[in-house]
Structure 1
């Protein structure tokens, strides 16, 4: 069994933890930016293939205090790296240091690499390693003098689903889009609209959730290159995931004012295998209306980059407020970096939480007004977070 870490963006850790619980994992430890749990090779495959909100899955090799390079070296050398890294493995070391005595990251990386090689040398009885085989990315992370050593099992981040090779301006990460959906009260028997859909990420993630399409089912992971046995584990998990896909009747709609972005969104939805579930339209939100009494708007509208002028942005958000008052039976879920969002809407949110869209600090404003949704526990998606 390994100590595994599912890393996530700040503010999303609890959602990642609920996902892990839904997958059957217990004794979770939730900290800033990560959730720790136990698992074996099969669990590494399950977590990588099924987690929607995590950034990557790491194997935790050791944790110890180090205030000197000698302590860092000896602590690293004592780890049995040979239990995972073979004689020809590529030992790629990355690092970060926050509020620690050992603040020079390049020096820490160098010390860790020397210590890993020294440990490997003692086990294999050789001094030189070809490093011609599979890659093992080792991270040395130091926080307040506590060193955590990990090996990455994921490779390219878990937001890389494989369906979005191209994106529009300021694209929303797939993992954040999935988090927005899981935090919302959306239930897939209600209409879902993103009136600023961009490259379609929120809608595609929504369709994948509704149809139980595992986010990592159509991509590969670095640890599959480590051994045939590990690759077989992933093949088994992916096969099971594909057999569990549903074909439910759902209503998901995306609007964008730019026809080129709409074309891109359609291509992305097709690559994700959900194009038949999403209707994309070239449409201005200022012209938006609906005769339906209940529905959901989940969106990441412009922060100013696409509209340019602040005055235009103010007009857009004030119009959104007017729409919210008109569509009083609809839930609105809006992610934005605009600080005076509620003032512009003139409507106070039911809830809001701080989230990060890349390095941009945002708030996720939620308006719970759909009277047909009694509480979050009644929703299909929020079985993962309640």
Structure 2
């Protein structure tokens, strides 16, 4: 089979992080666009990408891309795809859609046209007038942007942030993909301490532990494409075996988190246990004023309260003030905080070394990065 055109979809602002992930996985043909990262691979790479990508939302197969200013153009462009190469006669193939800055503005109408075109092409191939759609699931998406139609197949199913370890959540949880992105952007290494003083349901410490032990984030879940003829079971078995063999659970971790809410810590401990880190991540019920991270040259990576969803603005302001004061007592530590507030630097008393625009869900935020000194080389005395 020819190489497939694959797409790792991206939350706004994380495209470069996903591109780096793909390059670290060995993919050289990586092309970044707004909201997605394109790469090439075979059916086995559908398995590897779904198992390993930490910051992407999902992995798609690009089926076609063509101008579509009319419903006829949309119909004919979709019908030109050899759908039977992918979808068996009993396959379920719902169509999802979206349209932006295009003449075809009715998303339901576009979905209907694409569905009709796929059915017509499959009727000609399979020689039947009716499809039961009670087999494996093949979600087709039509995305219209500036009168160009992109037709894709979703290989993932539920978003990649659903790792499988978090059954309960706190009121305003941070997505696993964003937590992983914050850890990757910090360039934290497992030999350094990591602490989250607003840990909530524990997502940042758990994602850090998975990175530290090189655990593929998709190991505990299933994917739509596991039932596809073009992605046979043996490819999934090989990809999972590779992932299990790559785990480095003999590396000691110094990861901890705290929160003033006992219910949040209860959720965090349950999630850590489910993820296999019950003994390796320490959680405590503590306000940030009483938190005392152990060690030097560590990383504080945190998602302080915003005031837009939890509590009020006064509480969010208090949290940032306490975070800035907290930093004064950890001169060798680096700080990474995601917040929509413009007052973070005010409460830290200095400008961030780096700011990165990110979206936590629909909330526009910045990742404020304060770099502490690097750890001394082994054998060298601390300054």
* Equivalent position of 2:355 in the other structure: 352
CA contact (8 A) 2:172 2:309 kept: no
Q: Counterparts of 2:225 and 2:314 in 1: how far apart (Å)?
A: 50
Taking structure 1 as reference, are residues 111 and 229 closer, same or farther at Cα in structure 2, changes over 3 Å only?
closer
Q: Counterparts of 1:29 and 1:214 in 2: how far apart (Å)?
A: 23
- Which blocks of at least 5 consecutive residues in structure 2 are unaligned? 378-383
* Equivalent position of 1:382 in the other structure: none
Q: Deviations over 1:276-330 (max 9, x none)?
A: 2100111110222357442110000111267634333323312222222332211
Secondary structure at the aligned position of 1:175 is classed as helix
Q: Tell me the C-alpha RMSD between the 2 structures.
A: 1.6
What does residue range 173-184 of structure 1 map to in structure 2 within 5 Å? 173-184=175-186
Of residues 7, 10, 16, the one that matches 1:8 is 10
- Point out 4+ residue stretches in structure 1 off by more than 4 angstroms: none
* Equivalent position of 1:323 in the other structure: 326
Aligned length in residues: 374
Q: Deviations over 1:157-182 (max 9, x none)?
A: 11110000111011100011000000
* Equivalent position of 1:96 in the other structure: 98
* Equivalent position of 1:277 in the other structure: 280
Q: Counterparts of 1:241 and 1:259 in 2: how far apart (Å)?
A: 35
Secondary structure at the aligned position of 1:276 is classed as coil
Of residues 194, 197, 216, the one that matches 1:195 is 197
Taking structure 1 as reference, are residues 283 and 221 closer, same or farther at Cα in structure 2, changes over 3 Å only?
same
Structure 1-normalised TM-score? 0.93
Secondary structure at the aligned position of 1:138 is classed as strand
What does residue range 297-336 of structure 1 map to in structure 2 within 5 Å? 297-304=300-307, 308-336=311-339
- Which blocks of at least 5 consecutive residues in structure 1 are unaligned? 375-386
Secondary structure at the aligned position of 2:284 is classed as strand
Taking structure 1 as reference, are residues 114 and 256 closer, same or farther at Cα in structure 2, changes over 3 Å only?
same
Displacement of 1:230 in angstroms is 2.0
CA contact (8 A) 2:29 2:39 kept: yes
Structure 2-normalised TM-score? 0.94
What does residue range 88-237 of structure 1 map to in structure 2 within 5 Å? 88-227=90-229, 230-237=232-239
Of residues 259, 265, 272, the one that matches 2:268 is 265
Q: Counterparts of 1:292 and 1:228 in 2: how far apart (Å)?
A: 50
* Equivalent position of 1:33 in the other structure: 35
CA contact (8 A) 1:92 1:136 kept: yes
Do residues 364 (structure 1) and 367 (structure 2) align? yes
* Equivalent position of 1:73 in the other structure: 75
* Equivalent position of 1:377 in the other structure: none
CA contact (8 A) 1:319 1:345 kept: no
CA contact (8 A) 2:355 2:367 kept: yes
Q: Deviations over 1:149-206 (max 9, x none)?
A: 0001111111110000111011100011000000003121111000011110000000
* Equivalent position of 1:380 in the other structure: none
Taking structure 1 as reference, are residues 219 and 154 closer, same or farther at Cα in structure 2, changes over 3 Å only?
same
Taking structure 1 as reference, are residues 290 and 237 closer, same or farther at Cα in structure 2, changes over 3 Å only?
closer
CA contact (8 A) 2:43 2:230 kept: no
